[in-house]
DNA sequence: AACGTCACAGCAAGCGCTTTCTATGTACCT
DNA sequence: AGGTACATAGAAAGCGCTTGCTGTGACGTT
């Protein structure tokens, strides 16, 4: 039924071993033989059996990319950059690797199960992107899994995710704390003293770090924070809309709203507009990430640009062993404050 | 080194066959035996060898999702919906399948190579999303590949992609033509007579269909189209910005700009603003897709909503064999016109 | 009491490939 | 010429799992 290596071998009048060597190309094969084999492959329309090959060679060409939410461009952009370096088919990398992105949806179980699935497939490398979940048991389970993967020879890279010490994983971490602080300091510098914060989901490291940066800025400037000024929600527009409304309800005198990310910020903008406030005249708004659409908001969003593409590409290269891991296997990637129209001095 | 089935068998004092059957669970195994095996699996921390299993069983649990650009939310949203139904780990589906998304970047070669890679892995199903490339040789190659996949037992589903007759693929197609026509008719109804069109890449079916719809509307209303009114570009914001500028240069009297999709429309909006035009007072703008950010544009974007999530979910279910394919294996999915602030009557 | 029937469990033969080791020319030295 | 070295090709032993077929007791039947 299906064409096998042996069929090709028969047709080319060589042994299966030779065909295998031609296909893998790391063993001397005479040019004439190679050609004959290639011709047979072509004529028979032969397709290598991946599982069989992976089994025999004890390695596979699968590279997994775990993302929290594939519908979010934040992850889409990173995944795209990573995949671009993995080579995938057509990439500049020589070996053809199947870079696959797995969508965990932010669920701890799925995260773990995907890792197991990749472990099963004997993946060549795994890249985990975005914030981690802060739950001790889950984190322990993840670390154990990562360690096992690393031990089994799978290269593990964390991109935009906090380091996982002792697991053998290489981390490219975003400086969310620093970015958050810089952003809020910008607002404070403009004169704001009553700042609302629309945070992401409680249990995410990203959420906590950005919030900590924000609070550090407040503290550094002697601003006492009112607990009512923080609302947690999801990392999406809808959540930002609702949270901003809630913030306004709690303290109508806020002059600035800092959001956990750009999508949330856009939702907040909509809420402010719908409640009759002008941006930035009445209320300033700031986001985080600087996704492509942020510049198109009206007014354009003040935010912190994260080099998603660069970081992703680097993570991809490291995963492929084409770039040296950073010293200590940990690197911190900084964001850049982008001051735009959505932030201004408070009225008065 | 690594734990194998045999190790588990030894530990549980049963034969490897029994362990396999416990793990696959479709063969009677006494409860006590099963428990013993499961215990051994747990104690040994055994992980099934995917390739070996796939080889022996001649099937795998891999499901491929091909997208043109993973950084584009259009694809991210669909991929997310598809993956949600595939089950992936934790999905409601019983069997755990590894749903992986492959980013072709719109390149014909990568598209084909990914398909080969998936064929190699003996994928259980493949879902191709978004517009196809209109190049006869490539299309022939794709069709041949799809047919081969289908013949090998891989279920092939097209989501938001034109049918591929004779390949055995099941198609859920977006009615781009109808949507494009409806959109332009709306603009014409408002009184516009000079409409620019920022099209996508020439060779995409999506591009052509939307443009055809647009032209059909013009023709139906006796508007003769000026060839200068159409500019082709990529499906991104930047391209929309440049194309809109070009359109204005060619005909400063345009009263409306229709874009190939929402990102392009946003870019066009920026260009219009930057050139001192008010939307919709001076120029109306319309997009396509209704991605989440479109409602946040100021003014909110008039566009055609495509049910990406619903279509993706359906495609996913069909791929998993959990939903009947549509009659004739082809279904057309309609878009819905969303009239919002970016379109209005031309200045009279 | 003898004999089908079942419910389980094990045997063993692969699945299609990779790779080590070995065999065979051929070329090159001295 | 004899011998060593090198370049190639083949034989064969698995890689770790699945599954058809074959036992083997326990049970129910007549």
pLDDT(A32) > 60? yes
So what's the pLDDT on residue A96? Answer: 66
Tell me what the mean pLDDT of segment A225-237 comes to: 96
Angle at which helices A308-319 and A73-86 cross, to 10°: 40
b/e A323-339 (16+ beta carbons within 10 angstroms → b): eebeeebbbebebeebe
**Chain-chain contact of A103 with B121 (C-beta, under 8 angstroms):** no
Kindly report which listed range (A20-29, A89-98, A102-111, B115-124) carries the lowest average pLDDT score.
A89-98
| Chain segment A121-160, per-residue pLDDT in tens | 889 999 999 999 999 999 999 999 999 999 888 999 999 9
| Chain segment B40-76, per-residue pLDDT in tens | 999 999 999 999 999 999 888 889 999 999 999 999 9
Measure CB to CB from residue B292 to each of A47, A122, A237 and give the nearest one. Answer: A237
User: What is the domain count for chain A?
Assistant: 3
pLDDT, chain B, mean: 93
Helix, strand, coil percent values for chain A (each to nearest 5): 45, 15, 35
Do A137 and A124 share a domain, yes or no? yes
A294 touches chain B (CB under 8 A): no
Instruction: Report, in ranges, which bases of strand D sit under 7 Å from a protein C-beta.
Output: 7-12, 14-20
Checking each nucleotide's C1' against the CA of A36, the nearest proves to be D9
Do A280 and A137 share a domain, yes or no? no
pLDDT(A323) > 50? yes
Do B169 and B181 share a domain, yes or no? no
pLDDT(B298) > 90? no
So what's the pLDDT on residue B164? Answer: 96
Of B269, B285, B305, which residue is a domain's last? B305
So what's the pLDDT on residue B98? Answer: 82
Q: Does B205 fall in a domain? A: yes
Residue of A nearest to B110 (CA): A89
Residues 6+ positions from B11 with CB-CB distance below 8 Å = B40, B43, B44
Q: Does B347 fall in a domain? A: no
Phi-psi sector, B164: left (phi>0), alpha (psi -120 to 50), beta: beta
Adjacent-strand bridge partners of A159: A129, A172
Checking each nucleotide's C1' against the CA of A15, the nearest proves to be D10
CB distance A302 to A287 below 8 Å: yes
Measure CB to CB from residue B102 to each of A75, A100, A107 and give the nearest one. Answer: A100
| Chain segment B309-344, per-residue pLDDT in tens | 999 999 999 999 999 999 999 999 999 999 999 999
Half-sphere exposure of A100 (CA within 13 A, CB side): 30
So what's the pLDDT on residue A220? Answer: 97
In degrees, rounded to 5, the angle at the alpha carbon of residue B72 between the alpha carbons of residues B71 and B75 is 105
Measure CB to CB from residue A113 to each of B90, B107, B116 and give the nearest one. Answer: B90
Residue B27 CA and nucleotide C2 C1' are separated, in Å, by: 31
In degrees, rounded to 5, the angle at the alpha carbon of residue A292 between the alpha carbons of residues A290 and A297 is 85
Torsion angles phi and psi, residue A196, rounded to 5? -85, 155
pLDDT(B96) > 70? no
> Which CATH number is B18's domain given?
1.10.260.40
CB distance B180 to B188 below 8 Å: no
* Secondary structure, 3-state, A231-299: EECCCCHHHHHHHHHHHHHHCCCCCEEEECCHHHHHHHHHHHHHCCCCCCCCCEEECCECCHHHHHCCC
| Chain segment B6-27, per-residue pLDDT in tens | 999 999 999 999 999 999 887 8
Do B167 and B182 share a domain, yes or no? no
Round to whole Å and give the CA distance between B226 and B133.
26
Do A137 and A86 share a domain, yes or no? yes
Q: Does A78 fall in a domain? A: yes
Round to whole Å and give the CA distance between B110 and A301.
36
Q: Does A347 fall in a domain? A: no
Q: Does A203 fall in a domain? A: yes
Do A115 and A82 share a domain, yes or no? yes
Do A141 and A116 share a domain, yes or no? yes
Do A134 and A79 share a domain, yes or no? yes
- Structural domain of residue A280, as residue ranges? 176-305
Torsion angles phi and psi, residue B65, rounded to 5? -125, 115
Tell me what the mean pLDDT of segment A204-210 comes to: 97
So what's the pLDDT on residue A25? Answer: 81
Do B258 and B292 share a domain, yes or no? yes
Question: Is the Cβ atom of A54 within 7 Å of strand C at any atom?
Answer: no
Do B75 and B160 share a domain, yes or no? yes
Model pTM score: 0.91
> Which CATH number is A314's domain given?
3.40.50.2300
In this prediction, residue A190 has a pLDDT band, given cuts at 50, 70 and 90, of very high
CB distance A47 to B119 below 8 Å: yes
Q: Does A248 fall in a domain? A: yes
Name the minimum distance, in Å, from the CA of A216 to any CA of chain B. Answer: 31
Q: Does A33 fall in a domain? A: yes
CB pairs under 8 A between A and B: 190
Of B305, B325, B342, which residue is a domain's last? B305
Round to whole Å and give the CA distance between B202 and B94.
42
CB distance B70 to B77 below 8 Å: no
pLDDT, chain A, mean: 93
Residues 180-209 of A with CB under 8 A from B: none
Do B67 and B163 share a domain, yes or no? yes
Do B268 and B327 share a domain, yes or no? no
Q: Does B342 fall in a domain? A: no
So what's the pLDDT on residue A28? Answer: 83
**Chain-chain contact of A71 with B89 (C-beta, under 8 angstroms):** no
So what's the pLDDT on residue A26? Answer: 78
Residue of B nearest to A268 (CA): B296
């Amino acid at each position: 039924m299906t064409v096998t290596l042996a069929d090709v071998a028969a047709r080319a009048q060589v042994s299966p071993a030779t065909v295998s060597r031609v296909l893998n190309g790391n063993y001397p094969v005479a040019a004439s033989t190679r050609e004959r084999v290639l011709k047979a492959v072509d004529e028979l329309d032969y397709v290598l059996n991946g599982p069989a090959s992976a089994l025999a060679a004890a390695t596979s060409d699968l590279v997994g990319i775990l993302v929290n939410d594939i519908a979010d461009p934040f992850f889409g952009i990173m995944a795209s950059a990573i995949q671009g370096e993995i080579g995938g088919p057509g990439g500049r990398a020589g070996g053809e690797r199947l870079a696959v992105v797995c969508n965990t949806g932010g669920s701890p179980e799925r995260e773990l199960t995907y890792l197991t699935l990749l472990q099963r497939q004997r993946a060549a490398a795994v890249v985990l992107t975005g914030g981690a979940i802060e739950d001790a048991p889950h984190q322990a389970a993840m670390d154990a899994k990562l360690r096992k993967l690393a031990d089994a020879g799978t290269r593990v890279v964390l991109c935009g995710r906090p380091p996982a010490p002792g697991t053998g994983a290489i981390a490219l971490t975003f400086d969310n704390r620093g970015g958050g602080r810089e952003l809020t300091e910008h607002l404070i510098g403009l004169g704001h003293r009553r700042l609302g914060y629309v945070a992401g989901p409680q249990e995410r490291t990203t959420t906590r770090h950005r919030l900590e940066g924000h609070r550090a800025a407040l503290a550094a400037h002697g601003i006492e924070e009112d607990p009512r000024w923080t609302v947690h929600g999801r990392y999406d527009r809808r959540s930002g809309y609702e949270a901003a409304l809630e913030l306004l309800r709690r303290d109508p005198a806020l002059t600035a709203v800092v959001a956990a990310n750009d999508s949330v910020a856009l939702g907040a903008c909509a809420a402010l507009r719908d409640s009759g406030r002008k941006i930035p005249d009445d209320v300033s708004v700031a986001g985080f990430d600087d996704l492509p659409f942020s510049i198109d908001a009206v007014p354009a969003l003040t935010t912190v640009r994260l080099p998603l593409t660069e970081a992703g590409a680097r993570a991809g290269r490291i995963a492929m062993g084409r770039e040296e891991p950073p010293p200590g296997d940990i690197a911190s990637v900084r964001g850049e404050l982008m001051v735009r129209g959505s932030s201004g001095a408070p009225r008065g």
